[in-house]
Structure 1
Amino acid sequence: MKILIFGGTTEGRLLAQALSQRGLPATVSVATPLGAQELSGLPGITPLVGRKTAQEMAELLKSFDRCVDATHPYAVEASRNIRTACQAAEVPLRRLLRAESSHETGHWVESPEEAARWLRERSGNVLLAIGAKGIGAFQDLDRERLYPRVLPVVESILACQQAGIPTRNIIALHGPFSRDLNRAMLEQYHIRYLVTKDGGRAGGFEEKAAAAREAGAELVVIGRPTETGCTLEEILSWLTQD
């Protein structure tokens, strides 16, 4: 059986590791070279780098028997394209879910744009821990108060620059971030609001929430889109069926 995983996330990496340990080969499609690096050294796992349209996905899927969508919980467009491609290629699909956090603390919003509107009425520095794609929603705020934390790759830095973020405010680091490191950043940059997604345990949400509480910063949480899918164990059972 030929397996295609759309990954680039913690869940996708864990699934690839589990398949490798079982001697089951798989191809993992990731958007960036960084995603491919995190799969290096896994026997039987072949990274495929580059973002793809739904049409390109459908063409790729013609060579596979089963597909797993292990993209980020907030990658709504990517998941929609994967569903469309699997239907076109008539390849069975399963969605691998990430567990949500159990926290209800902070101010919850539905989008980066809503978070930006809420922050417009409030003063104080803002740590944006939401990834580079959402930075543009905050460009109408005073850029001097914005501190985006993004991956240390050219694409992320360019997104910050296009949003007018001062270079000295860009925190380009690769996680995971401990509670202590999160707290140190909040204190170093005098952060009043920490904007984050509900990335669950895999996305370090617990550490962010604890650090914000200890540093006296308020969480602004962009809620997760509603979706259905399977656990890692359920996906593995499906992929190992005869």
Structure 2
Amino acid sequence: MKVLLLAGTAEARELASKMTEAGIEGVASLAGAVRRPAMQEMPTRIGGFGGEAAFARYLEVEGMTAVIDATHPFAARISERTERVCAERGIPYLQLLRPPWAPSEGDRWHDVNCEEEVADLVPTGATVFLATGRQTLERFEGLAGQEVIARQIDPPDGPFPFAGGRFLVGRPPFAVEDEMRLFRKLGVDWLVVKNAGGEPSRSKLDAARALGIPVAMIARPPQPPGDKVETVQGAMAWLREIERE
């Protein structure tokens, strides 16, 4: 068995370690969206595949017999393509998809379907903190003229895509107390988050609850069909199952 692990999440790093410990041959693949990605405990490739046909050729040439998709829950295009290519070629495919966040007592969440809907929620003059990554910033252009602060891991490689916005560089994880201190310092009125799930990155939501800050929660995109698990343990059980087949 040789497994392609589509990585980029904390769960993927943990799974790579577990697979290596179990002696399962595999290659971790990182999209290269982060300049200094956390290293995986298995052979790793960085960068895209060059399209669907090139991805299919990679699977064939490298002799991959299974694919685990442990990418970000909002990496919809990658997941859709991967499931489709695997289904066409009869390659077992699993999506390791952590559960979405759910509101707790005291949370002031406002559900939205997409980035463009956020502008309808935020009143004029509000200070908005975007904890949504850099790849979809242009979709928030309805917030132009507001004070918008977008946090990203790497220093920006270009200007902010619309007026009124600025970047804040920070590398997670962030403690709840640090997030509260930051939100107070910046005078944050609204927090905007994608519903990625995961405990390590929930601290910003806990900070917003403690400070009474409303949250615009962007819903996950539809996920592809196929086998799904929510934990690394579930992924390892799936690997053992297909290994016996």
Q: What TM-score do you get using the length of structure 1 for normalisation?
A: 0.86
Name stretches of at least 5 consecutive residues in structure 1 with no aligned partner. none
Q: In the TM superposition, what is the alpha-carbon distance from 1:166 to its structure 2 partner?
A: 6.4
Aligned to 2:151: 149
Say whether 1:230 aligns with 2:232: no
What is the root-mean-square deviation of aligned Cα atoms in Å? Answer: 2.3
Highest RCO, 1 vs 2 (Cα 8 Å, sep ≥ 6): 2
The answer as to whether partners of 2:2 and 2:26 remain within 8 angstroms in 1 is: yes
Aligned to 1:12: 12
Closer, same or farther in 2 for the Cα pair 1:165/1:79, shift >3 Å? farther
Q: In the TM superposition, what is the alpha-carbon distance from 1:37 to its structure 2 partner?
A: 4.0
Letter in 2 for 1:99: P
Say whether 1:80 aligns with 2:80: yes
Identical positions, percent: 24
Of 201, 208, 213, 1:212 maps to 208
Name stretches of at least 5 consecutive residues in structure 2 with no aligned partner. none
C-alpha distance in structure 1 between counterparts of 2:184 and 2:145, whole Å? 19
Q: Secondary structure at the match of 1:174?
A: coil
Closer, same or farther in 2 for the Cα pair 1:128/1:17, shift >3 Å? same
Aligned to 2:90: 90
Aligned to 2:57: 59
Letter in 2 for 1:182: E
Q: What TM-score do you get using the length of structure 2 for normalisation?
A: 0.85
Q: Secondary structure at the match of 2:77?
A: helix
Say whether 1:126 aligns with 2:128: yes
Of 104, 109, 112, 1:109 maps to 112
Q: In the TM superposition, what is the alpha-carbon distance from 1:123 to its structure 2 partner?
A: 3.0
C-alpha offsets along residues 40-92 of structure 1, whole Å, 9 cap, x if unaligned?
5x2xx111100232222211111201001111111111111111221343311
C-alpha distance in structure 1 between counterparts of 2:111 and 2:217, whole Å? 5
Q: Secondary structure at the match of 1:138?
A: helix
Of 137, 140, 145, 1:138 maps to 140
Q: In the TM superposition, what is the alpha-carbon distance from 1:137 to its structure 2 partner?
A: 1.3
* Residues matched between the structures, number: 232
Aligned to 2:157: 158
Of 192, 195, 198, 2:192 maps to 195
C-alpha distance in structure 2 between counterparts of 1:219 and 1:114, whole Å? 13
Structure with more helix by fraction: 1
